[in-house]
Amino acid sequence: MDASTQTISAALLDWYDAHARVLPWRSAPGAPPPDPYRVWLSEVMLQQTTVAAVGPYFDKFTRAWPTVEALAAADEGEVMAAWAGLGYYARARNLIACARAVAARGGTFPDTEAALRELPGLGAYTAAAVAAIAFDRAATVVDANVERVVARLHAIEEPLPAARKPIRARAEELTPPRRAGDFAQAMMDLGATVCTSRAPRCLLCPLAQWCAGRRVGAERFPVKPPKKAKPQRRGQAFWIERAGQVWLVRRAGRGMLGGMLALPDDGWSARGDGAELPPLDGPWQHLGTVRHGFTHFDLDLQLMLYSGSDLARFAPNDGEWWDIARLDQAGLPTLFAKAAGLALAQRDETGESG
């Protein structure tokens, strides 16, 4: 590190010592690193999710499975149900696979970035974060907050995603050989609380005097390409009820919302509209439409109620009847929780009990 980068890094660490967020998966600035299991779990949960949303899930997971060995031994369905609502469900499947891989190593996480990368589901960011925060390795951690801070600090004009290469190079220059974990968390905290995407609080920023972006308008950075319109998909979900129970299916392990309990549907996907027939012939009533946004497409999901009285012919190969009174324990993904909420609202209005 040259003199200028050392000065910037030192200023940021001084700020972090005084202003670090208190989070359940962290150690205080300068304290010994936290349990690698808690660091890894939190970092997986925090991918594309806010700290506020993750807090209750982290507490629930660590109460149910306080060690990586406990998580490795957990029932996969229970883990997926506990994850419901956090989104990006491939993370939950990778979480289970990684926990089992670590348990097979005797419950000990590897302590280098390269070795962490060999675990299931750990990409460059998560491996660097665990190496830096849990083991104080001099790994460079670049999430969206760090990306924003560095792009503004150096006024990087190149648009994303091409800008990620120079942003990473600059972040590597700034990462100190000691207290790398605190430095990574300091960058994250600065981006989350001061160098925010809108209305950055530049007067409170410990790096303001070195910030090239501030002089030309910090909110310009990082430069983003024009947004592409997301495809609009359409599908149907089917509500089949009898005697206070609703029929649920377990989605395939891979693909959208994989491994989750859900209402049966017509096979919609990110690539196209649904086209499969309902699970059984008979009268169907349209209850309404649920709208939901995924990362790469938007979905209008029509909810169809089976309004016939004869379910004797209904004998699918898989699935289960689930008590409606405890439907909140099924761990439905957000889309199907919305659909179930719509069905239950209609049910309450009509006074039907199934």
SS3 322: strand
Confidence of residue 348 (pLDDT cuts 50, 70, 90): low
Given a contact cutoff of 8 angstroms between Cβ atoms, the answer to whether 234 and 312 are in contact is: no
Least confident piece of the model among 69-73, 314-318, 334-338: 314-318
Whether residue 161 has a cis bond before it, omega within 30° of 0:
yes
CB 271: neighbour CB atoms within 10 A? Answer: 9
Judge whether residue 219 has pLDDT over 70. Answer: yes
Reading the block at residue 213, the tokens are: 């972006």
DSSP code at position 327:
G
| Average per-residue pLDDT for the chain | 91
pLDDT number for residue 147: 96
At 350 the pLDDT is: 56
Over residues 10-35, mean pLDDT: 95
Share of the chain above pLDDT 90, in %: 72
* Residue with the two structure tokens 């006024």: 155
Q: What is the pLDDT of residues 228-245, one digit of tens each?
A: 889 999 999 999 998 889
Whole-number Å distance between alpha carbons of 8 and 298: 42
Question: Would you say residue 54 has pLDDT above 90?
Answer: yes
Q: Which pLDDT score is estimated for 222?
A: 95
pLDDT of residue 188: 95
Kindly name the residue from 43, 113, 147, 241 that is annotated as catalytic: 43
pLDDT of residue 155: 96
What confidence category does residue 158 fall into, taking pLDDT thresholds of 50, 70 and 90?
very high
pLDDT score recorded for residue 354: 44
Could you report the per-residue pLDDT of 250-300, keeping only the tens digit for each? 888 777 888 889 999 999 998 999 889 888 888 999 999 999 998 889 999
Amino acid (one-letter) located at 155: A
The answer to which of 262-266, 301-305, 308-312 has the lowest mean pLDDT is 308-312
Q: What pLDDT is recorded for position 157? A: 94
Highest mean pLDDT among 120-124, 191-195, 238-242: 191-195
Q: Check if 43 is active-site.
A: yes
Instruction: Let me know: does 119 contact 37? Beta carbons within 8 Å.
Output: no
| Angle, helices 76-83/51-64, rounded to nearest 10 degrees | 150
